């Protein structure tokens, strides 16, 4: 995935949301699990939303096993090369 515009993470740095450039919608938001300090991530179940709040609601669902620790905080996206995807589903 290319074109990361913004990223957010929870207080523990385990779970987050990324905003990507997208041709049709302009931006899409994906719930992710951060895998390491280098910001490698998995997109959870290949989900995507058209708003940040839609992706945030995913974590609030009572049937969801991914729990956010504290508040989501925006993190600085310095260089796109720092972020990489791993092609597998959780």
Average pLDDT, the chain: 83
The confidence band for 28, taking pLDDT boundaries of 50, 70 and 90, is very high
If you ran DSSP here, which 8-state letter would residue 60 be given?
Answer: H
Q: Say yes or no to pLDDT of 52 above 60.
A: yes
pLDDT of residue 90: 32
CB atoms near residue 2 (< 10 Å): 8
What are the structural domain ranges in the chain?
4-80
Indicate the pairing of strand 15-22 with strand 4-9: antiparallel
């Amino acid at each position: 995935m290319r074109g990361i515009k913004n990223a957010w993470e929870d207080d523990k740095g385990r779970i987050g949301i990324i905003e990507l450039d997208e041709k049709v919608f302009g931006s899409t938001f994906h719930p992710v699990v951060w895998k390491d300090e280098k910001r490698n991530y998995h997109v959870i179940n290949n989900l995507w939303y058209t708003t940040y709040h839609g992706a945030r609601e995913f974590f609030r669902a009572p049937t969801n096993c991914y729990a956010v620790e504290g508040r989501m905080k925006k993190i600085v996206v310095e260089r796109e090369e720092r972020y990489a995807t791993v092609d597998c589903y959780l």
